[in-house]
Amino acid sequence: MKKVEAIIRPSKLKAVQAGLVAADIPCITVMPVKGAGLQKGYAEVYRGTEVPLILHSKIMIICVVSDENLEKCINVILDNASEGNIGDGKIFIYDVLDAVRIRNGVRGNDAIR
């Protein structure tokens, strides 16, 4: 099993979610996050004064998928979140040792289906 964390633009969430559901990967967790990467800071005007901001608002999507669905999950995120610009986001992949469904104690790949 793998844990996929994707940090994307907020405007791309609906497209990525629809793509994952269509690819039969409906289980996701979504969190609003702020961060900085290669995309440099920007400035906003607040009460007539320009204020430099460093952190950008993004969305983090977390999916735990079977090894067989890993490439499908990555491709769906890439296809739906990419505009080809700096600031499109990143995808991180981690190994997951085990998963347990709390309701009935089912473990492993059966717990994430």
Per-residue pLDDT at 52:
73
pLDDT (0 to 100) of residue 86:
85
Per-residue pLDDT of the chain (113 residues; tens, 9 = 90+): 999 999 999 999 999 999 999 999 989 999 999 887 776 666 677 788 877 777 888 999 999 999 999 999 999 999 999 999 888 999 999 999 999 999 999 999 999 88
**Could you give the CA distance from residue 70 to residue 55 in angstroms, rounded to a whole number?**
29
- pLDDT for res 68: 94
Positions of E strands within 1-113: 2-8, 29-35, 42-46, 49-53, 56-65, 89-95
CATH fold of 2-112? Alpha-Beta Plaits (3.30.70)
Domain ranges in the chain? 2-112
